Amino acid sequence: MSGWLTSVIALVVGDREADRVVPPTGFTATLTVFTSAAMAFLAVFALALSLATDRLADRWAAELARTSTLRISAPAGQLGPQTEAALRLLETTPGVASARALTTEEQRDLLTPWFGAELPLETLPIPQLIEIVEEGDGYDPTGLRARLQAEVPGAVLDDHTRWREPLVEAASRLRGLGIVSLVLIGGATAAMITLAAQAALAANAQVIRVLRLVGAQDAYIARAFVRRFTLRAMAGAAIGMLAGLLGILLLPRADIAGGFLTGLGFRGTGWLLPLLIPPLAGVVAFFATRSAALRSLKEQS
């Protein structure tokens, strides 16, 4: 049986006497618990970010893929007839579920963020926008453009491809950042616990000397430290995870406030994923401490 497997079994089974050979107090205990808690707290948010961006990418892709915009630019006298012609054409286009011209108020609302509420829309040569909602496999954009060019010369079809792709890519990169953050958090946790374990081993040099004197093997000495650090890391991570979940719960709800950041959170079975953080922190702590302990014991011999 390999050494680490034996250590895992010993970790699960436990040994009350062996656990007691290392003094129970010390700054490394606080450091390990605090580090694990802080990292688990951050991991909850990184996980939430990753899942939220995943959902956002899907939503943006789906929403933008199902709608298009037709923009009609024409002299004032021709705008109305061309709009009607475009709507008639769209009614007979396969793959188009509905098409409607945006009202003046709707167009004003779209421009208000840039030009203010007092915009005299009637006096400006604003193009007419038509919203197209697709059905089934959608329409053939090349064929539609050809027909529009022939029948509605002032129309420009925007199938949202140029918007959708960068948004989906941005969401995908945000999701990647979330995953990278989780990996970095895991690495930072391992590094901090390794340092704490090394400090504990150095601080307990006399304990190690005594244990060696009485015939304790390296695995036994390492186990006493590994079990303690693993359990501390798991406890800290559990505290951090609960705090993180509480933080997520206290965020404003997406359907009330809207927007991306307020959509940060978990849905359905996604709430179970943070529960994996404490055992994962335990695994990281187990291997980090075991490696540090065996290395230190070799150096101290």
Partner 1 sequence: MIELRDVAYTYGRGELFAGINLTLAPGSFHFLTGPSGAGKTTFLKLCYGELISTHGTVSLFGKDVRDMTRDDVALSRRRIGVVHQDCQFLDHLPVSENVALPLTASGRHAEIEPNLSDLLGWVGLSGQAAQRPPQLSGGERQRAALARAVITSPDVIIADEPTGNIDWEMSQRLLTLLVELNRMGKAVMVATHDLNLIRAAKAQVQARVLRLKDRQLQAAGADL
The footprint of partner 1 (CB under 8 A) covers 17-18, 20-21, 23-24, 206-207, 209-220, 297-298, 301
How far is residue 265's CA from residue 248's CA, in Å, rounded to a whole number?
6
Q: How far is the CB of 15 from partner 1 (least distance, A)?
A: 8
Which one, 47 or 294, has the nearer CB to partner 1?
294
Tokens representing 255 are 């359907």
How far is residue 128's CA from residue 104's CA, in Å, rounded to a whole number?
9
Which one, 184 or 219, has the nearer CB to partner 1?
219
Q: How far is the CB of 220 from partner 1 (least distance, A)?
A: 6
Q: How far is the CB of 300 from partner 1 (least distance, A)?
A: 10
What separation in angstroms does the CA of 73 have from each of 69, 81, 107, 217, 292? 13, 12, 14, 85, 71
Which one, 192 or 211, has the nearer CB to partner 1?
211
Q: Which residues pair with 133 in a beta bridge?
A: 67, 98
Which one, 20 or 267, has the nearer CB to partner 1?
20
Would you list the DSSP string of 189-220?
HHHHHHHHHHHHHHHTHHHHHHHHHTT--HHH
Which one, 185 or 221, has the nearer CB to partner 1?
221
Which one, 16 or 162, has the nearer CB to partner 1?
16
Given a contact cutoff of 8 angstroms between Cβ atoms, the answer to whether 197 and 288 are in contact is yes
How far is residue 217's CA from residue 118's CA, in Å, rounded to a whole number?
83
Q: How far is the CB of 197 from partner 1 (least distance, A)?
A: 19
Q: How far is the CB of 207 from partner 1 (least distance, A)?
A: 6
Given a contact cutoff of 8 angstroms between Cβ atoms, the answer to whether 236 and 207 are in contact is no
Q: How far is the CB of 236 from partner 1 (least distance, A)?
A: 23
> How far, rounded to the nearest angstrom, does the alpha carbon of residue 136 sit from its chain's CA centroid?
31
